[in-house]
Amino acid sequence: MRFEEAYSGNVFIKSHPNYNESQAVIYGMPMDWTVSYRPGSRFGPQRIREVSIGLEEYSPYLDRELDDVKYFDAGDIPLPFGNAQKSLDLIEGFIRQLLQDGKVPVGMGGEHLVSWPVMKAVSAKYDDLAIIHMDAHTDLRTSYEGEPLSHSTPIRKIAEHIGPNNVYSFGIRSGMKEEFDWAKENGMQIAKFEVLEPLKKVLPTLKGRPVYVTIDIDVLDPAHAPGTGTVDCGGITSRELLASIHAIAASGVNVVGFDLVEVAPIYDTSEQTANTASKLLREMILGWIK
């Protein structure tokens, strides 16, 4: 069983060498085959790990150090290129194992569809699960050009699975009219354009509940995250996203898992997107894993 031994590969900074002793497990989901626009997020997890060596281990925002949390880096889940269904099944199986072992799953995408099997597995463990979703896009389609397995569908799938009223989207600035209409008709809350202020209103209502947080890096404005599949102007700043992470940390919700997806390094020669992703992950780990 590979979990018993140290993973030999490019790991996220300060990863703990022992799976059994870790509270959380960080892993990559290098899948990008259902994206409708620019592929490349399969290389996101490896590049995020690589640049994480440039991170300070201390957060002056949270006054906490990475040594204070034990997380194991399990590497990238090996996925069959071009086979979406099998990839999702493999991810779901991987997460079920993690949850059974009592680990907090910390995922790196990959396209957003990878969050679907994770959220499904997490919802199987936590009855009263709520989803906090930060994204430029609604991701509420039932299919994309006839394909039900598409990067435009994961939030619809989990909303139908656990009930739309348990899903909270923030920062949304793109989608089809039908998607917005479906959300409204089904009691799902979508905060358009903004993240921090609407989040502050929602968080008190989620206090004590198990929450899974899924963040598409494109919730950031392209100025702050040019290295992603779909760049869509009018987004939030990295400051607002950091403040939102810290707001969740301070809110008393019980974060039982989280992911950050859609980092596609090839489109960003400055590597700011991967660097930003690695800092965001540091803040999420330090703020959300107690």
Taking a C-beta distance cutoff of 8 angstroms, is the pair 118, 155 a contact?
no
C-alpha separations of 220 from 2, 199, 215, 264, 268 in Å: 35, 15, 10, 14, 14
Residue among 77, 78, 82, 76 at smallest CA distance from 33 = 82
The answer to the question of whether 181 is labelled as a binding residue is: no
- Give yes or no for residue 35 binding its own copies (CB under 8 A): yes
- Give yes or no for residue 169 binding its own copies (CB under 8 A): no
Taking contact as CB under 8 A, which single stretch among the options 119-127, 155-163, 170-178, 198-206 is the one that binds its own copies? 170-178
Structure tokens at 49: 């790990």
The answer to the question of whether 221 is labelled as a binding residue is: no
Residue among 82, 90, 86 at smallest CA distance from 34 = 82
Restricted to residues 65-104, the positions that interact with its own copies (CB under 8 A) are 65, 72-75, 78, 80-84, 86, 101
Among 89, 237, 247, 254, binds its own copies (CB under 8 A): 237
Restricted to residues 243-272, the positions that interact with its own copies (CB under 8 A) are 266-272
* Helical packing angle, 196-206 and 238-249, nearest 10°: 10
Give the count of residues interacting with its own copies (CB under 8 A).
90
Shortest Å, Cβ 109 to its own copies: 14
- Give yes or no for residue 171 binding its own copies (CB under 8 A): no
- Give yes or no for residue 3 binding its own copies (CB under 8 A): yes
The answer to the question of whether 101 is labelled as a binding residue is: no
Shortest Å, Cβ 80 to its own copies: 5
Q: Please tell me whether the peptide bond between 234 and the residue prior to it is cis, using omega within 30 degrees of 0.
A: no
174: helix, strand or coil: strand
Residue 271 φ/ψ, nearest 5 degrees:
60, 20
The answer to the question of whether 135 is labelled as a binding residue is: yes
- Give yes or no for residue 112 binding its own copies (CB under 8 A): no
Taking a C-beta distance cutoff of 8 angstroms, is the pair 116, 154 a contact?
yes
Taking contact as CB under 8 A, which single stretch among the options 122-130, 162-170, 220-228, 247-255 is the one that binds its own copies? 220-228
Residue 23 per-residue DSSP state? S
- Give yes or no for residue 165 binding its own copies (CB under 8 A): no
- Give yes or no for residue 110 binding its own copies (CB under 8 A): no
- Give yes or no for residue 2 binding its own copies (CB under 8 A): yes
* 49 vs 210 by CB, closer to its own copies: 49
Residue 157 has, within 13 A of its CA and on its CB side, a CA count of 20
CA distance from start to end of the chain? 28
Taking contact as CB under 8 A, which single stretch among the options 33-41, 125-133, 208-216, 254-262 is the one that binds its own copies? 33-41
Residue among 289, 288, 282 at smallest CA distance from 108 = 282
What gap in Å lies between CA 40 and CA 80, rounded to an integer?
15
- Give yes or no for residue 187 binding its own copies (CB under 8 A): no
* 156 vs 224 by CB, closer to its own copies: 224
Annotated binding-site members for Mn(2+) = 112, 135, 137, 139, 216, 218
